[in-house]
Amino acid sequence: MAEAIVELRGANIQQGGRNILENVDLRIAPGEFVYLVGKTGAGKSSLLKTLYAALPLGGGSATVAGFNLAKTGRKKIPQLRRKLGIVFQDFNLLMDRSVEENLRFALRATGWKKGTLAEQRIDEVLMAVGLADRRRSMPHTLSGGERQRIAFARALLNSPTLFIADEVTGNLDPDTSKNILELMRKLGKEHGTAVLFATHDYRLLDTFQARVVRCEGGRVFNAEG
C-alpha cells in the first residue's frame, strides 16, 4: 500500500480550546479524490485548517505530506504548505496586481527566485487551467469562474501532493461550479495530486463518483460516494 498523503488516527480537531471533531480517522492516498461534506458549522473548515497547520492538532496522530503535525513547529509550517495547494471560496487574489504578478508574488513567497524557470512555471500553470491568454489581465476584469481558475493555477505552482479546497464553489453558479469541480478533478489526475474537496452543496457529488467523508455531530464518517 502506498504511503498516505493524509493519515489521521484518533485525531481531535479543536478550535478555541474545545473539540470540534473527536477521534477522527482519515486516510487519503496519492492521487485520490475525496469529498468532505457536512452542514455549515459541522467542522469541515476546522479539519482543513488543522491539515495545513492553521490550527494545532488537539490530540491523536496526524501526518500530512510527510509531516507529523504533532511535531511540526512554527518554523516548519512553510515547508509543509509548499507541498499543499490550498484554494478558498474568496480566491484571495491581490486585486491591484495582474494575474502574472499574483503568481510571481506566490512564487517569491515560497522561495522561488526571479528568472526564466519562474516565468516558465507561470506559463505552465496558466495553460493547465486554460487561461494562458489572461496573463496580463487584472482580476477585476475576470469572471468568478476565471478568478477561481487563477486561484487553482496559484495552487499548482509548487506541484503540490495535496489540493485542499474549502467551499471553492460557494459563490459560483451551478454550471460554473460543475466546471470548476471537473477542472480540479482533471488537475488532480494529470498531476497525481490528492484532492480533499470540502462542500455543503451535495448536488456536486453527482458530477462524478468519489469517496465521501462526512462531518456530523462532532464525528467524521467515511462512506462511498
CATH number of 31-55+73-223: 3.40.50.300
pLDDT for 165 equals 92
C-alpha cell at 224: 462511498
Q: What is the largest CA-CA distance in the chain?
A: 51
pLDDT for 27 equals 96
Higher pLDDT, 220 or 187: 220
Contact partners, residue 44, CB within 8 Å, separation at least 6 = 36, 37, 38, 166, 167, 198, 200, 215
pLDDT one-digit tens code per residue, 150-179: 999 999 998 899 999 998 888 788 888 888
- Fill in the amino acid letter for 189: K
pLDDT one-digit tens code per residue, 94-106: 999 999 999 999 8
Higher pLDDT, 176 or 48: 48
The angle subtended at Cα 114 by Cα 127 and Cα 148, nearest 5°, is 35
pLDDT one-digit tens code per residue, 172-211: 888 888 888 888 888 888 888 999 999 988 888 888 889 9
pLDDT one-digit tens code per residue, 107-140: 888 778 778 888 999 999 999 899 999 999 999 9
Tell me the β-bridge partners of 221.
214
pLDDT for 225 equals 44
Examine the pLDDT at 16 and tell me if it is beyond 90: no
- Model's pTM, two decimal places? 0.89
The domain ranges of the chain are 31-55+73-223
